Amino acid sequence: MTDLDEAIAAVRADVAALHAELVRYGLVVWTGGNVSGRVRVGEDRSADLFVIKPSGVSYDDLAPENMILCDLDGTVVPGTPGSDRSPSSDTAAHAYVYRNMPDVGGVVHTHSPYAVAWAARGEEIPCVITGMADEFGGPIPVGPFAIIGDDSIGRGIVETLIGHRSRAVLMQNHGPFTIGVSAKDAVKAAVMCEDAARTVHFARQGGELIPIPQEKIDALYNRYQNVYGQSTDARR
């Protein structure tokens, strides 16, 4: 087994297993939603690929060997396990993100209900809870309306998230895309995005929200990114 083979096998296992978290947290129904993870080997990044879920397949049937390996154009790598199936219909958007955001190691897309509700109004989620300040460092932004068929979804994600603290974007009328340093980190962002969308939805139903001062948001975000968790696994 080469280094690349090993890296691919590890990401296949990871991506297959992480889909269970989307189910556990109620972020997906039926076959909706998808997780991908980047595979990059070599100092020159000679190999730069990603692994993604097949299209329209039940969450009960996901296994490492039916995950699909793609290059950064979103083309299935022929002759690899799972390559006889179609990859997720959102593959082009994932590929666009990997091509244009070299530090991204994982991408997740869901139609989680509270996040989609904000997206259907084209309204960002205000940062009124310390958990959001920790995780996203401010509001969760809205991206443009874009539909499948060209690069417009990927471009909308990238343009919204580059230079933004948030690892989550709510694509208008569509739903959240999240990114992370790994597939696991992107899944965490998807879970925390829905949690924030839900909690702030509840909060606002009851009346006026108390804003958090910007310098407190900054302090919380900086601490959480640097201190939280075990030093060996932070956000990985």
Contacting residues toward a copy of itself, per CB under 8 A: 25, 29-32, 54-57, 85-86, 89, 111, 113-114, 116-123, 128-131, 145, 147-149, 172-175, 188, 191-192, 195, 198-210, 212, 216, 219-220, 223, 227-231, 233-234
Strand 34-41 relative to strand 106-109: parallel, antiparallel, unpaired? Answer: antiparallel
Minimum distance from residue 2 beta carbon to a copy of itself (Å): 30
The closest alpha carbon to 64, from 28, 13, 18, 107, belongs to 13
Q: Which is nearer to a copy of itself, 116 or 158 (CB)?
A: 116
The closest alpha carbon to 158, from 235, 112, 104, 116, belongs to 104
Minimum distance from residue 186 beta carbon to a copy of itself (Å): 13
Residue 61 CB neighbour total at 10 angstroms: 9
Minimum distance from residue 166 beta carbon to a copy of itself (Å): 17
Residue 44 CB neighbour total at 10 angstroms: 7
Q: What's the DSSP call for residue 70? A: E
CA distance 185 to 233: 10
Q: Which is nearer to a copy of itself, 39 or 95 (CB)?
A: 95
The closest alpha carbon to 20, from 161, 198, 139, 183, belongs to 183
Q: Which is nearer to a copy of itself, 6 or 121 (CB)?
A: 121
CA distance 161 to 118: 17
Helix, strand or coil, per DSSP, at residue 80: coil
Minimum distance from residue 51 beta carbon to a copy of itself (Å): 18
Minimum distance from residue 225 beta carbon to a copy of itself (Å): 12
Q: Which is nearer to a copy of itself, 48 or 141 (CB)?
A: 141
Minimum distance from residue 39 beta carbon to a copy of itself (Å): 23
Q: Which is nearer to a copy of itself, 39 or 220 (CB)?
A: 220
Q: Which is nearer to a copy of itself, 5 or 236 (CB)?
A: 236
**E strands present in 68-128:** 68-71, 106-109
Q: Which residues contact 135 (CB under 8 A, 6 or more apart)?
A: 167, 189, 192, 196, 224
Q: Which is nearer to a copy of itself, 49 or 153 (CB)?
A: 153
Minimum distance from residue 97 beta carbon to a copy of itself (Å): 18
